[in-house]
Protein backbone atom coordinates (compact mmCIF):
# COMPACT_ATOMS: atom_id res chain seq x y z
CA UNK A 1 0.00 0.00 0.00
CA UNK A 2 1.35 3.42 -0.86
CA UNK A 3 1.72 6.09 1.82
CA UNK A 4 -1.45 8.20 2.09
CA UNK A 5 -1.09 11.94 1.48
CA UNK A 6 -2.75 12.71 4.79
CA UNK A 7 -3.26 10.46 7.75
CA UNK A 8 -4.86 11.67 10.97
CA UNK A 9 -4.71 9.23 13.86
CA UNK A 10 -6.81 9.66 17.00
CA UNK A 11 -6.38 13.43 17.10
CA UNK A 12 -7.49 15.13 20.30
CA UNK A 13 -7.35 18.91 20.55
CA UNK A 14 -8.26 21.40 23.23
CA UNK A 15 -8.80 25.12 23.29
CA UNK A 16 -8.71 26.79 26.66
CA UNK A 17 -9.41 23.58 28.57
CA UNK A 18 -12.29 22.61 26.27
CA UNK A 19 -11.88 19.53 24.12
CA UNK A 20 -12.98 20.32 20.55
CA UNK A 21 -11.53 17.42 18.58
CA UNK A 22 -12.22 14.11 20.25
CA UNK A 23 -10.31 11.47 18.38
CA UNK A 24 -10.33 12.26 14.66
CA UNK A 25 -9.31 9.42 12.36
CA UNK A 26 -9.04 10.19 8.68
CA UNK A 27 -7.00 8.93 5.75
CA UNK A 28 -6.80 10.74 2.41
CA UNK A 29 -4.86 8.69 -0.16
CA UNK A 30 -2.88 10.37 -2.91
CA UNK A 31 -4.90 11.64 -5.83
CA UNK A 32 -8.22 11.53 -3.94
CA UNK A 33 -10.69 14.23 -3.02
CA UNK A 34 -12.48 13.82 0.29
CA UNK A 35 -15.29 15.96 1.60
CA UNK A 36 -16.10 16.75 5.22
CA UNK A 37 -19.61 17.78 6.15
CA UNK A 38 -20.86 18.56 9.61
CA UNK A 39 -22.95 21.00 11.52
CA UNK A 40 -21.82 24.39 12.73
CA UNK A 41 -19.43 24.21 15.63
CA UNK A 42 -18.61 20.53 15.17
CA UNK A 43 -14.91 21.32 14.82
CA UNK A 44 -14.21 21.35 11.07
CA UNK A 45 -12.33 24.65 11.02
CA UNK A 46 -10.53 23.69 14.19
CA UNK A 47 -9.29 20.59 12.40
CA UNK A 48 -8.15 22.64 9.42
CA UNK A 49 -6.30 25.13 11.65
CA UNK A 50 -4.61 22.38 13.63
CA UNK A 51 -3.46 20.80 10.38
CA UNK A 52 -2.08 24.14 9.18
CA UNK A 53 -0.32 24.72 12.51
CA UNK A 54 -2.15 27.62 14.13
CA UNK A 55 -1.11 28.38 17.68
CA UNK A 56 -3.52 28.36 20.65
CA UNK A 57 -4.55 24.77 20.04
CA UNK A 58 -3.31 22.10 22.37
CA UNK A 59 -2.92 18.70 20.80
CA UNK A 60 -3.31 16.28 23.69
CA UNK A 61 -3.20 13.04 21.72
CA UNK A 62 -2.72 11.71 18.25
CA UNK A 63 -0.65 12.14 15.12
CA UNK A 64 -0.89 13.85 11.78
CA UNK A 65 1.21 12.49 8.94
CA UNK A 66 1.68 14.40 5.71
CA UNK A 67 3.01 12.03 3.07
CA UNK A 68 4.31 9.86 5.91
CA UNK A 69 5.93 12.66 7.91
CA UNK A 70 4.61 13.76 11.29
CA UNK A 71 3.94 17.47 10.97
CA UNK A 72 2.60 18.37 14.40
CA UNK A 73 5.91 19.77 15.64
CA UNK A 74 6.46 21.87 12.51
CA UNK A 75 5.95 25.62 12.14
CA UNK A 76 3.08 26.63 9.83
CA UNK A 77 5.62 27.80 7.24
CA UNK A 78 7.40 24.44 7.33
CA UNK A 79 4.13 22.59 6.80
CA UNK A 80 3.31 24.87 3.89
CA UNK A 81 6.60 24.28 2.15
CA UNK A 82 6.14 20.58 2.83
CA UNK A 83 3.07 20.86 0.59
CA UNK A 84 0.12 21.58 2.86
CA UNK A 85 -2.27 24.35 1.90
CA UNK A 86 -5.31 25.67 3.74
CA UNK A 87 -7.81 27.81 1.88
CA UNK A 88 -9.22 29.79 4.81
CA UNK A 89 -12.90 29.95 5.65
CA UNK A 90 -12.25 33.58 6.55
CA UNK A 91 -9.18 34.88 4.67
CA UNK A 92 -7.32 37.52 6.68
CA UNK A 93 -7.01 41.12 5.53
CA UNK A 94 -3.48 42.47 5.90
CA UNK A 95 -3.26 46.23 5.31
CA UNK A 96 0.06 47.49 4.00
CA UNK A 97 1.16 44.18 2.47
CA UNK A 98 0.75 44.35 -1.30
CA UNK A 99 -0.93 41.26 -2.73
CA UNK A 100 1.72 40.84 -5.42
CA UNK A 101 4.59 41.19 -2.92
CA UNK A 102 2.93 38.56 -0.78
CA UNK A 103 2.34 36.15 -3.66
CA UNK A 104 5.93 36.45 -4.75
CA UNK A 105 7.26 35.90 -1.23
CA UNK A 106 5.07 32.82 -0.84
CA UNK A 107 6.13 31.40 -4.19
CA UNK A 108 9.79 32.03 -3.47
CA UNK A 109 9.51 30.40 -0.06
CA UNK A 110 8.33 27.22 -1.78
CA UNK A 111 11.12 27.41 -4.32
CA UNK A 112 13.76 28.06 -1.69
CA UNK A 113 12.62 24.97 0.23
CA UNK A 114 13.03 22.95 -2.94
CA UNK A 115 16.50 24.38 -3.53
CA UNK A 116 15.36 26.35 -6.58
CA UNK A 117 16.36 29.92 -7.44
CA UNK A 118 13.91 32.79 -7.01
CA UNK A 119 11.33 33.21 -9.73
CA UNK A 120 12.04 35.98 -12.24
CA UNK A 121 9.60 38.88 -12.26
CA UNK A 122 8.35 38.21 -15.80
CA UNK A 123 7.78 34.51 -15.03
CA UNK A 124 5.98 35.48 -11.86
CA UNK A 125 3.78 38.02 -13.61
CA UNK A 126 2.93 35.48 -16.27
CA UNK A 127 1.99 32.80 -13.73
CA UNK A 128 -0.24 35.20 -11.79
CA UNK A 129 -1.87 36.47 -14.94
CA UNK A 130 -2.62 32.95 -16.15
CA UNK A 131 -4.13 31.71 -12.90
CA UNK A 132 -5.95 35.00 -12.43
CA UNK A 133 -7.56 34.70 -15.83
CA UNK A 134 -8.75 31.18 -15.14
CA UNK A 135 -10.37 32.33 -11.90
CA UNK A 136 -11.84 35.55 -13.32
CA UNK A 137 -9.70 37.68 -11.04
CA UNK A 138 -9.45 41.31 -12.00
CA UNK A 139 -5.80 42.37 -12.13
CA UNK A 140 -6.78 45.67 -10.45
CA UNK A 141 -7.73 43.63 -7.39
CA UNK A 142 -4.23 42.21 -7.15
CA UNK A 143 -2.76 45.71 -6.97
CA UNK A 144 -4.42 46.25 -3.60
CA UNK A 145 -3.24 45.26 -0.16
CA UNK A 146 -3.71 41.60 0.66
CA UNK A 147 -7.44 40.80 0.88
CA UNK A 148 -8.13 44.38 1.96
CA UNK A 149 -11.47 45.53 0.63
CA UNK A 150 -11.96 42.29 -1.33
CA UNK A 151 -15.58 41.12 -1.36
CA UNK A 152 -16.36 37.79 0.27
CA UNK A 153 -16.32 36.04 -3.09
CA UNK A 154 -13.13 37.80 -4.21
CA UNK A 155 -11.37 36.63 -1.08
CA UNK A 156 -12.32 33.03 -1.78
CA UNK A 157 -11.14 33.29 -5.37
CA UNK A 158 -7.89 34.82 -4.18
CA UNK A 159 -7.38 31.79 -1.94
CA UNK A 160 -7.73 29.47 -4.90
CA UNK A 161 -5.39 31.67 -6.91
CA UNK A 162 -2.77 31.18 -4.21
CA UNK A 163 -3.40 27.46 -4.28
CA UNK A 164 -3.00 27.36 -8.04
CA UNK A 165 0.30 29.25 -7.83
CA UNK A 166 1.78 27.28 -4.94
CA UNK A 167 0.73 23.86 -6.28
CA UNK A 168 0.52 22.13 -2.90
CA UNK A 169 0.25 18.36 -2.63
CA UNK A 170 -2.41 18.46 0.09
CA UNK A 171 -5.17 21.07 -0.26
CA UNK A 172 -7.63 21.77 2.51
CA UNK A 173 -10.56 23.94 1.47
CA UNK A 174 -12.59 25.28 4.37
CA UNK A 175 -16.01 26.34 3.09
CA UNK A 176 -14.55 27.80 -0.06
CA UNK A 177 -18.08 27.74 -1.52
CA UNK A 178 -19.69 29.95 1.10
CA UNK A 179 -20.15 33.49 -0.13
CA UNK A 180 -19.78 32.54 -3.78
CA UNK A 181 -22.50 33.27 -6.31
CA UNK A 182 -23.49 30.56 -8.76
CA UNK A 183 -21.12 31.66 -11.51
CA UNK A 184 -18.23 32.10 -9.12
CA UNK A 185 -18.89 28.65 -7.70
CA UNK A 186 -18.49 27.25 -11.20
CA UNK A 187 -15.30 29.22 -11.83
CA UNK A 188 -13.75 28.26 -8.51
CA UNK A 189 -14.73 24.61 -8.92
CA UNK A 190 -13.15 24.54 -12.37
CA UNK A 191 -10.02 26.04 -10.83
CA UNK A 192 -9.96 23.36 -8.16
CA UNK A 193 -10.74 20.55 -10.60
CA UNK A 194 -7.92 21.60 -12.89
CA UNK A 195 -5.55 20.98 -9.99
CA UNK A 196 -6.75 17.41 -9.54
CA UNK A 197 -4.25 14.81 -10.64
CA UNK A 198 -3.08 11.37 -9.63
CA UNK A 199 -0.89 12.73 -6.86
CA UNK A 200 -2.50 15.81 -5.28
CA UNK A 201 -5.03 15.15 -2.51
CA UNK A 202 -7.81 17.42 -1.31
CA UNK A 203 -9.98 17.76 1.74
CA UNK A 204 -13.04 19.84 1.02
CA UNK A 205 -15.06 21.15 3.96
CA UNK A 206 -18.55 22.25 3.01
CA UNK A 207 -22.12 22.54 4.20
CA UNK A 208 -23.67 22.09 0.80
CA UNK A 209 -24.08 19.16 -1.44
CA UNK A 210 -24.15 21.65 -4.34
CA UNK A 211 -20.38 22.15 -4.26
CA UNK A 212 -19.91 18.40 -4.50
CA UNK A 213 -21.77 18.36 -7.82
CA UNK A 214 -18.93 20.47 -9.15
CA UNK A 215 -16.03 19.02 -7.20
CA UNK A 216 -17.00 15.38 -7.10
CA UNK A 217 -15.47 13.68 -4.06
CA UNK A 218 -14.18 10.15 -3.82
CA UNK A 219 -15.23 9.91 -0.19
CA UNK A 220 -17.57 11.91 2.05
CA UNK A 221 -17.02 12.05 5.82
CA UNK A 222 -19.60 13.16 8.32
CA UNK A 223 -18.14 15.15 11.18
CA UNK A 224 -19.98 15.43 14.47
CA UNK A 225 -18.88 16.67 17.86
CA UNK A 226 -15.19 16.57 17.13
CA UNK A 227 -14.82 13.33 15.21
CA UNK A 228 -15.63 11.52 11.99
CA UNK A 229 -18.79 9.49 12.61
CA UNK A 230 -19.52 8.11 9.16
CA UNK A 231 -17.73 7.78 5.84
CA UNK A 232 -19.09 6.79 2.49
CA UNK A 233 -19.35 7.56 -1.21
CA UNK A 234 -20.63 10.77 -2.73
CA UNK A 235 -24.22 9.62 -2.22
CA UNK A 236 -23.68 10.15 1.52
CA UNK A 237 -23.82 13.88 0.86
CA UNK A 238 -27.26 13.49 -0.72
CA UNK A 239 -28.44 11.41 2.20
CA UNK A 240 -27.22 14.09 4.60
CA UNK A 241 -28.98 16.79 2.67
CA UNK A 242 -32.22 14.82 2.78
CA UNK A 243 -32.12 13.71 6.41
CA UNK A 244 -30.07 16.30 8.25
CA UNK A 245 -27.46 15.52 10.87
CA UNK A 246 -29.71 14.06 13.58
CA UNK A 247 -29.36 10.44 12.47
CA UNK A 248 -25.61 10.72 12.51
CA UNK A 249 -25.48 12.23 15.99
CA UNK A 250 -26.62 8.92 17.45
CA UNK A 251 -23.74 7.22 15.68
CA UNK A 252 -21.41 9.54 17.58
CA UNK A 253 -22.87 8.68 20.97
Partner 1 sequence: MNAIVRLGPAELTLIEQLKNLGAHAEAERLTAAGLPTRRVESYHYTDLKALLRSVPELGTAGGAGAPHFDIPGTWRVAIVNGAIGSPIGAPHGVTAGTVSGSVLTERDDMLVRLNSALTQQSLSLEISGDIAEPLVIDRQFAGEAAHVATGAKIFVADGAKVTIVEVYSGSEAAHLGNHATYLAIGKGAEVTHITLNLMDKAATHFATNEYLISESARLRTLAIQAGGALSRTQLLPRYVGKGAYADITGLSLVGDGQHADITMDAQHAVPNTSSKPLFKSIARGRSKAVVQGRLVVARDAQKTDAKLMAQGLMLSDEAEILTKPELEIYADDVVCGHGSTCGRLDDDHLFYLMARGIDKITAETMLVRAFLAALVDPIENQSLKAALTGVIDGWLENA
Ligand X SMILES: Nc1ncnc2c1ncn2[C@@H]1O[C@H](COP(=O)(O)OP(=O)(O)OP(=O)(O)O)[C@@H](O)[C@H]1O
Residues that bind ligand X (CB under 6 A): 15-16, 20, 38, 40-46, 56, 89
Q: Whose Cβ is closer to partner 1: residue 169's or residue 227's?
A: 169
Q: Is residue 125 a contact partner of residue 77, using CB atoms and an 8 Å limit?
A: no
| Backbone torsion region of residue 96, taken as left when φ is above 0, otherwise alpha when ψ lies between -120 and 50, otherwise beta | left
- Nearest residue (CB) to partner 1, 59 versus 166: 166
From the list 8, 13, 45, 88, which residue makes contact with partner 1 (rule: CB under 8 A)? Answer: 88
Q: Which of residues 58-97 bind Mg ion (CB under 5 A)?
A: 89
**132 contact, one of ligand X, partner 1, Mg ion, none, CB 5-8 Å limit per kind:** none
The string over 172-199, giving b where at least 16 C-beta atoms fall within 10 Å of a residue's C-beta and e elsewhere, is: bbbbbbbbbeeebbebbbebbeeebeee
Tell me how far CA of residue 147 lies from CA of 34, 94, 135, in angstroms. Answer: 27, 7, 16
Q: How far is the CB of 39 from ligand X (least distance, A)?
A: 7
Rule CB under 5 A: is residue 206 a binding residue for Mg ion?
A: no
Min dist CB 101 to ligand X, Å, is 29
Helices (H), the chain: 44-52, 76-81, 99-113, 121-134, 152-166, 182-193, 209-214, 235-243, 246-252
Residues near partner 1 (CB under 8 A) are 52-55, 75-77, 79-81, 85-86, 88, 91-92, 94-97, 101-102, 105-106, 109-110, 113, 145, 162, 166
Amino acid sequence: MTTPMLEIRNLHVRIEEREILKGVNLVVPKGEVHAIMGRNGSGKSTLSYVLAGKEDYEVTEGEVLLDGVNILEMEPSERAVAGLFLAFQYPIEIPGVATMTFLKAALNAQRKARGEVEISTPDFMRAVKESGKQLNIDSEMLKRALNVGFSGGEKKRAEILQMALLKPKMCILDETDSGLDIDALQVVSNGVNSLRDGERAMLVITHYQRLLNHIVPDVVHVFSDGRVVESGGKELALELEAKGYADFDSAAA
